[in-house]
A and B are shown apart, each in its own frame.
Chain A
Amino acid sequence: EYPAPPGKMAAPRGWRLAWQGHCRLLHTERSAAPPPPLYPPVVASHTAKSKSAKRRRLEYFYQQVHEAPSIAEKLRLYGRLQRLKYVVYPQTFSLNADRWYQSFTKTVFVPGLPPAGAQPAGPGAPDLSELRSLACDALLQEHFYQRKRERPFLYREQQHVPGPFLTQLVSSLSAALGSSNPLLATSCLDLKPQVNFYWERGETVVCRGYRTGRIDPVRFQIDDEPLIQIRVPKQLPEFVPLDYSVPGEVPVINHKPDKLPLFKRQYDNKIFIGSKVADPCSYGHTQFHLIPDKLKRERLLKANLADQIEVTYRANGIASLFAWTAAQAMYQGFWCEADVTRPFVSQAVISDGKYFAFFCYQLNTLALTVKADQNNPRKNICWGTESKPLYEAVEGNNVKGFNDEILLQLVQFLLNRPEQL
């Protein structure tokens, strides 16, 4: 700090008192403008192996990302550095994966569905009997009427009947509900799109390699492929306000993610919602996931893991929806140092062909790194139901025990739209 305050300079032995031109004389007035600095600012080194140098490099990196001219450039700079990261699989066989994923994404899980906002009366309430006949027709076509191979190949049963059934159901329902929901008429339907997200949460010490001993953020990457995805040009309305205090806690797990098990790899840090930034449909509406063959109900029951059935649905919902919603937020220019100013909302339906579970996700914060999370009271919220069957059985050309509530819930999900429309 200069000019050195007078009276504080200790004179070492043998040092002659030299006149310091910058010191103020005791009885003079300070002029209006301070004199321009003669020396550049004293800052920490850029390349030293020290904490202050690391801080300075981080600040420079954040400043570069803040000043990026376009969103594509911002995403490129954000994920430019490649390091080993944990690859998080939404559809996983790990036990109690939903609690781990909640801690990775700072999400509170609330059972049930969000408080229903007042939906404005649309141009015409949809006829449930017509939609029920559409759903039954799709079901019977795939199960009975269309001639298929008797036995599908090993581990391909889900893509043999339930996959085409879900695709057909969603496309015909969204076409039929286009009149009630004008947002669906301008939506974009993707089949098997790629959804990727990369984020950092928490800190750890690097244990191996030339960087041993340094403190590094823990990096995660989700690479997801939902069965069907509906993207819309306008954002869905929020379920609860941005700073709503949720009754629930984010689980804290005091183990390394390796224990889940979760494995590290190093490759492209991709952030993708299903199409590039230039696409006008850059907000998400609903995703539809199909439970894979290795996580089916029968296999889990045979392995005495009946309590993990709901866990697979929840883990899939939390991870997929977090990745999609956070990627949508990054497509709008927000990131961990520039937190979201409005909540981002998405919905998902996870099914194995017969059992359906509904999830809603509200992203309130993207600031998950240690530095950004220090004074961040906001949490992301995920609402989810238990999986319930859509029908009891399909015998010949009859559907027995069709459950209208599931269909109604699906229709309400598809009819979700902002108030202006």
Chain B
Amino acid sequence: MAGLWWPARPAAGALRAWAPRGPHRGKTAQVPRRPLPRTPWTTRGPPPGAPLPRSWQDKRPVQEQIPGLEQVTYAGKQYFVPWLARPRLPRWERGWHDPRHSPGPRYEAMPLYKERVCYVCHQRTKMLEGVRQALWLTKTKLMEGLPPKVLSIIDEPANQLENEDERVQNAISHARVWITTELIPKRESYCPVLLEDLLHLCRTMASKYPSLSKRMLARDYKVAAAWERESSILQVRGMNGILLNAINPLLPVASKDEILATENHVLETFHPISPTIDLQEVNVYEERHDTGFREGYPYPHPHTLYFVESANVRPVRFRPEQLRAKMLMFAFGNALAKAKILYGDDPKVLEHPVVVQSIGTEGRIFQFMVFQLNTTDLASSDGVKNLVWIDSDQYMYDYIRYLPGIRKKVVKFPPGIYGYRPDTFKKFLALYLHGAVQDSTQTQIL
């Protein structure tokens, strides 16, 4: 059928395969299931000392338990008969090395093999403890809300677009409703389009602040950073998100006093779970630092990382807590790589802290983060810590109505955006303008 058409939906009272059938039909879970209580059994296996479940016990084959007992196979007959066992024949060897059919070298034979295990965080790592785990791994102290420097940019009336609300709502409608001839677009199409539209709106501010044009977006770039944290080697690797690079670095957001005050902060641990849970363990690795760009790049300083969480299927999609953890790890990775290249490999407290911002979204909910790297001395858990300001779960709008709600032949609920909140875009714009705008509370941080 041409043009807009009603999507094919099952009838209202149709039985669903996953829902209860019979007398309890129609009674799907009314209350969302609470997460399971965290006991040693539910997190990782049985506690020490308890007997293992049957399926986890070591099972030795019958031949080992009763020596001398051999199976009678049809190997001697050289043809199959159904009443004799299947023989275990030796694996066929080609006799010569064919590069197109070779399994490759074993891990132990690779040149970069190391005995000590390294834990790698990549873009599909969903950490169990979320932000708490990322805070421990990156030796960071958490502050709720955005820093006052960024909030003061929001309050300035000159830092707003003309017809800001109307244009943002047009951008949301474009991404969520108008982008396809079908009725409802999928998250994989609307989420990146929404981010691009919001970035386009932010870029139009370049007419007011010319230093905004001295920035460049980079997509599909790979970052590499390695550090040691209480006897485990950790690495951040791989493609993460869209990076906005700037010519001038961001000035530190926290004062010297706040940085020194973090020495007293104690990092939160979560015994018995190891802080390196859910990170990929590798034995073949190379510790290197790479911002993703060569020397001499005209926009050397990372400004903001944009993460788009647009998987269509809910189990694959990152939950907000895991998305915040990923944002923190990669902001830290970019900052650490930049600091090591600027100030050398020795672990030390930085004179000029490196600031990297990060914004993550799944199309409706935005997570804002400002990360300040104060020290590269991460081996011990004492001393000056890094700082991160997180503003989590900012809704840009509540929901979108695609079809009008008609009650008794009167349009009661017109289609469109419901529950639009203008503050979220103001924060988005403030994080974009940070570094290019002189705000009133800026003090010289030496």
Contact = CB atoms under 8 A, between A and B. Distances in A.
A2 B196 CA distance: 69
A189 B200 contact: yes
Interface string B29-67: 000000000000000000000000000000000000000
Contact of A275 (B174, B222, B297): B174
A268 B216 contact: no
A281 to B, nearest CB: 8
A278 interface: yes
Nearest to A233: B170
Interface residues of B, number: 39
A144 B297 CA distance: 9
B221 A146 contact: yes
B181 A272 contact: yes
Interface string A254-288: 00000000000000111010011011110000000
Contacts of B296: 145, 397
Contact of B2 (A82, A164, A176): A82
Contact of A76 (B4, B167, B204, B212): B4
Residue in B1, B2, B178, B203 with the greatest tally of chain A CB atoms within 10 Å: B2
A188 B221 contact: no
A292 B250 CA distance: 39
Nearest to B207: A179
B181 A270 contact: yes
Contacts of A369: none
A171 B200 contact: yes
Interface residues of A, number: 47
Interface in B209-231: 212-213, 216-222
A191 B193 contact: yes
B217 A168 contact: yes
B16 to A, nearest CB: 29
From DSSP, what is the main secondary structure of chain B's interface residues? Answer: mixed
Given A138-B216, A176-B206, A178-B207, A145 B181 contact: no
B289 to A, nearest CB: 13
A22 interface: no
Interface in B168-219: 170, 173-174, 177-181, 192-193, 196-197, 200, 203-204, 206-207, 212-213, 216-219
B292 A172 contact: no
Given A171-B200, A171-B217, A188-B197, A279 B3 contact: no
B178 A147 contact: no
B290 interface: yes
Nearest to B192: A191
Contact of B218 (A130, A141, A171, A174): A141
A137 B293 CA distance: 13
A146 B292 CA distance: 6
A194 B181 CA distance: 9
B203 A268 contact: no
Given A76-B3, A134-B213, A276 B178 contact: yes
Given A76-B4, A147-B221, A178-B206, A168 B216 contact: yes
Contact of B216 (A141, A148, A270, A278): A141
A248 to B, nearest CB: 35
Nearest to B175: A275
Contacts of A79: 2-3
A411 to B, nearest CB: 14
8 contacts: A72-B4, A80-B2, A141-B299, A147-B221, A171-B200, A178-B206, A185-B207, A275-B179
Interface of B: 1-4, 167, 170, 173-174, 177-181, 192-193, 196-197, 200, 203-204, 206-207, 212-213, 216-222, 290, 292-294, 296-299
